[in-house]
Amino acid sequence: MEDREEEGGHTNPETGTETETPISEIESSGLNQSEIVKAIEVAERDSLAIAESFTSLFASLRLALSNSTTTTVGHMHCFADATGRLQESVLDAATKGNRYINSCLRLNEEMKNIDSLASQLKILRRHVDALDSAVNKLLHVS
């Protein structure tokens, strides 16, 4: 606060806030023109330092935003590639699944005839057993 008082500011004792001193009061208080110029130079230096700080901050923010955007674009490309590969894999799996289903349907059609074949085999087995019994009877009789 002492610097501010040198620059033309003073603190209000009742409120404790800092206020600007009008130029007419500065001139009447005995400050000469060189002190006023010195105070203005200090204010200019401070303003320049603040401006440089903001410039640096904005450059930093711009770089961070650029990096973030670049990373996001990279992720989007990666996601698009992964999605394309997943789509190819799904189509391949669906094609193989359809082939499997078609094979099962063909096998099912072929199996329908198995019941009649099984019945024919049972009948044939009975005939073979009957023939075997007849041959055994003939062989034991002779």
Chain segment 101-132, per-residue pLDDT in tens: 999 999 888 888 788 888 899 999 999 999 99
Residue type, 105: L
94 in a structural domain: yes
Nearest C-alpha neighbor of 74 from the set 84, 63, 66: 66
Give yes or no for residue 55 having a pLDDT over 70: yes
> How much of the chain, in percent, has pLDDT values that exceed 70?
77
22 in a structural domain: no
β-pairing, 9-11 with 18-20? antiparallel
124 in a structural domain: no
Q: How many domains does the chain have?
A: 1
Average pLDDT over residues 29-46: 84
Q: Is 14 helix (H, G, I), strand (E, B) or coil?
A: coil
H-helix or E-strand spanning residue 7: helix 2-7
Average pLDDT over residues 90-106: 94
Dist CA 8 CA 36 (whole Å): 8
* Residue 98: domain span: 32-108
- DSSP-assigned beta bridge partners for residue 9: 20
- Reported as a pLDDT band with limits 50, 70 and 90, residue 12 is low
**pLDDT recorded at residue 140:** 84
Q: What share of the chain is helix, strand, coil (3-state, %, to 5)?
A: 85, 5, 10
Average pLDDT over residues 88-113: 92
Lowest mean pLDDT among 13-27, 53-67, 79-93: 13-27
46 in a structural domain: yes
Burial class (CB in 10 A: 0-12, 13-18, 19+), 38: middle
The residue among 84 and 71 whose pLDDT is bigger is 84
**pLDDT recorded at residue 102:** 95
114 in a structural domain: no
- Reported as a pLDDT band with limits 50, 70 and 90, residue 43 is very high
41 in a structural domain: yes
- Reported as a pLDDT band with limits 50, 70 and 90, residue 4 is very low
